[in-house]
Amino acid sequence: MIRLRDIRPEDRLLIKQMLKSTRHFTGTEIETALELVDAFIQKTDLSYQFIVAENTGGDFVGYGCWGQAPFTYGTYNIYWIAVSPESQKKGVGSKILSYMETQIMNAHGRLILIETSSSKAYRDARAFYEKKGYTMESRIRDFYKPKDDRYIYVKRFDVFY
């Protein structure tokens, strides 16, 4: 059983350890993730939202980060979904994503964007997004480096105002 809760200051170290343990993220990516956590915890930038996942034993197993895209009406970015290696493929990512989507819909979100890499390391992430109803809408070749493209996945919601 997975329980979701709000992020706490002590989660910063757990997030850092987990991101390193997945071996998917570069040092710069990890630093960026932690900068967002710091800004939220220190209340210097509340445009990012966070959710943390714990297992039944209370162990940290993953987290998600999302926020409204600046200068848009109802467009949101999902910046991070990360799950500890031992908890992957057990529904943790699905629970985190479902929670974020619900929060976005409750905020009258109409469009969700998720950016990812074309590299082999992100193959499972791309398959996950596609399984969850996201479509790859944009591809920028050689964006991250030669032969590593930027993919932008999109999910739309019918919202009537």
The parts of the chain modelled with pLDDT lower than 70 are: 159-161
Q: In what order do the strands lie in the sheet with 3-5?
A: 3-5, 49-54, 60-68, 75-83, 111-117, 148-156, 135-145
What pLDDT score does 23 carry?
86
Residues recorded for the chain: 161
Q: Which amino acid is at 49?
A: Q
What pLDDT score does 45 carry?
79
> Taking the CB of residue 6, how many other CB atoms lie within 10 A of it?
9
* 32, 65 Cβ separation under 8 angstroms: no
User: Residue 34 contacts by C-beta under 8 Å, 6 or more apart in sequence?
Assistant: 12, 15, 16
What pLDDT score does 74 carry?
94
DSSP class of 130: H
DSSP class of 92: H
Instruction: Show the tokens assigned to 84.
Output: 């500890």
What pLDDT score does 27 carry?
92
- Say how many CA atoms lie within 13 Å of 66 toward its Cβ: 26
What pLDDT score does 93 carry?
96
